[in-house]
Amino acid sequence: MKIAHTLVVIAALVAFNHAPAAGTLTVTAVNPLDIARPAETITVPWKAIAKAIPGARLQHLAVRDSAGRSLPYQVTNIAPEAKDPKNLGVAYGVLIFQHDFAAGEKSAAFTVERLEAVAPVFPTKVFARYVPERLDDFAWETDKIAHRIYGQALAAPDLDKTGKEVLVSSGIDVWCKRVSYPIVDRWYNKGHDHYHKDEGEGMDMYAVGTSRGCGGTGIWDGRTLSVSSNYHGWKVLANGPIRAIFELTYDAWDAGGRKVAETKRFTVDAGHNLDQIESTFTVVEGAGTDLTVGIGLDKHSADANQDAKVQLTANPDASSIALWVLHKTEGSLGTAVIVPKENFAGFAEDEQNQLVLAKAVSGRPLCYLAGAGWSKAGEFTTKQAWDDYVAECAARMRAPVQVSCTSVP
């Protein structure tokens, strides 16, 4: 049975790589920077594909680079109103694939072709899910790092005195990985707290508590950060293999005399340590629409027995903050937040958090990057390496790749 299955897989891959194309779309991605851009995510509107390849279907496509190599891809549709009653293949949202731009590489060309055979299922590198078996956590990961946020069940008091854990926090937790495959399900299946020991895949060594953790938000009044409770609602919009998208909603809380609610949309891409987060704050009670948002990093994230040394890099040119936390026995952990230049409003801190401040307007999304990197994963082994990565992410944020499409009969 195993040999037969292997032959079927080989046959499918041969068909995938050699099936003739009927209609082709050429995609050109232009890089405005000189730096390398590993795992650059390229998105193509499905309308462009449907125009060039009428009747195209997500499972009958090939995406190829300039050398003819087949690339993993993903097709998403996060617009629930999009319908395809005539089965013409027009209701998808975007095609997603990735390219590693080398330093100095200014452009790259790709082709999108129709396949008669069914394209193979690509290995997933991102994952997000609601975790009801652990007090309604919501967890997600890339091939680089993992995170979780806490829900209402964790915030609920232990009225029956069962010993249930209670934590009121909208901070973002970090799970450190040293493997590229998904670990969220594996670690939850081990049982709670078992993943606080590194058994070869990584560990949870981050103490988020009631801090902002790794990129949590609040409303800053110049002296105090007002924060929400645990998330209330969740929705997964896309889930790999290259990109996961999900939303978390937070009930309105008191923020200096105003009631403010928040919706966070996370875009989590393979190959990246920092996630893109769009936070939309809405003033539901009180005057004024202008807000100053504090986005934080936990100053005391290490266990007490680690005798950790914490180093801060606040970079106004990159509108970013980064922490490098050197642990006694568990390596070092870098965390970072980057906000757009046009929203940057300075730095601040409170007892728990280092903060980067950003201007926001009620009802309009504030987009920022946040994430972490662990030295034991082997990529960022020094503070300088982490700071360099954060600076490059800021540069990439300010100068996105430009994508154009051309139909080829």
CA 276 – CA 208 distance, rounded (Å): 20
Q: Parallel, antiparallel, or unpaired for β 145-149 and 173-177?
A: antiparallel
| pLDDT score for 319 | 98
3-state SS, residue 13: helix
What separation in angstroms does the CA of 100 have from each of 36, 63, 193, 394, 407?
8, 15, 37, 17, 24
Task: Provide the pLDDT for residue 196.
Answer: 85
pLDDT for residue 259 is more than 80? yes
Around Cβ 321, how many Cβ atoms within 10 Å? 27
Among the listed residues 303, 298, 137, 321, the one whose alpha carbon sits nearest the alpha carbon of residue 212: 298
Per-residue pLDDT at 336 exceeds 90: yes
Q: Which of 11-20, 288-297, 313-322 has the lowest mean pLDDT?
A: 11-20
Average pLDDT, integer, range 94-100 = 97
Taking the model in full, what pTM does it have?
Answer: 0.91
Full strand arrangement of the beta sheet holding 37-45:
37-45, 94-101, 74-76
pLDDT band of residue 94 (cuts 50, 70, 90) is very high
Q: Give CATH superfamily name and number for 2-120+400-408.
A: Golgi alpha-mannosidase II (2.60.40.1180)
Instruction: Select 127-378's CATH number: 3.90.550, 2.70.98, 3.30.1490, 1.10.287.
Output: 2.70.98
Q: Do domains 2-120+400-408 and 127-378 have the same CATH topology?
A: no
Q: Supply 275's token pair.
A: 């996630």
Q: Which two tokens stand for residue 203?
A: 């560990």
Residue-range domain boundaries for the chain: 2-120+400-408, 127-378
| pLDDT at residue 6 tops 60 | no
Q: According to the model, what pLDDT value does residue 23 have?
A: 79
pLDDT digits (tens, 9 = 90+) for 162-190: 998 999 999 999 999 999 999 999 999 86
pLDDT at 304 over 90: no
SS3 187: helix
